Chains A and B, each alone.
Chain A
């Protein structure tokens, strides 16, 4: 499937580990969460190129101890209206300070691209239903956000108010 990163299609170096495959001696492999412990146990601690695929009903806190060894976490959208992965992404980025790639998979829409970026997703596994332009323009169809610390790219945020911004009206409250 095509992958978008930094508003462009990229060659996807990652592959998913399927049932019956061995995780040992592989690289650039994304393992299901259920096999993460096995993969971590098999791999040397300094070996890179491991990722995990996380269902959207899982508390991502259980990844916390392993995040340093992971290069990518893939999050899932079983339907575009199921928004759990937004919070999973936000928690990984903001609470756990995960610096690797967070990839969205499943049936999200271009209209959600901006919110996904703002929530911390930076890689998108998409179908060929929409052209690249259709995704990219949705990064900033609303080019401003009230959520200052979710802002990404060139999104505008309100400048911090200066004291006495409205000197014509006394402070009240």
Chain B
């Protein structure tokens, strides 16, 4: 019953988020701040992880392709498919559930504990719109983060594959272009867009409705990370089934 209550409360919150809007001039400033906090500040970690995971995928693929009948270009093909279809959209999103999600839950949760959300409500401000709507809008730029992750991941694969001596450069570039299906990119960005909504709203829900003190803020952040990851994984499965099968 509690899960049903939570799901209902989550949708009530979403209705409130898209309810009475905050003054546009104020909202504009809040959106820019959230873009900086949630998107720009995440680029460093995303680039770092993408580059090295791209490299690791390439090395592992290369080490497992011992058969001389299999062309070396398949290493690049496998790295590309892994990065575009799964690593960048899903793996990075789970990392972002920890980084961005805990930031959202703890910032909103602390405002709840410190009565700042009550202060907004008393002033007649739609606190859900004021706090959560700018985060959702900022997260709409999340597909750009994933595009960067894909690019850097493939660069990492090239670095590890070619500079590491596993595959010649020309064969790597050939493999990268082999059997490229446009829809795989569309599929990845559809997933990313849905994940962006999940990444901004589930942690916001856990912060917005939290009760208690500082200890509960920590617990809420952990719970938000777990639930965001669970919903991401399930959504990933459902979208893959719907779009690729």
| Co-complex (A, B) | no
Identify the B interface with A (CB < 8 A). Answer: none
Question: Which chain A residues have a beta carbon within 8 Å of chain B's beta carbons?
Answer: none
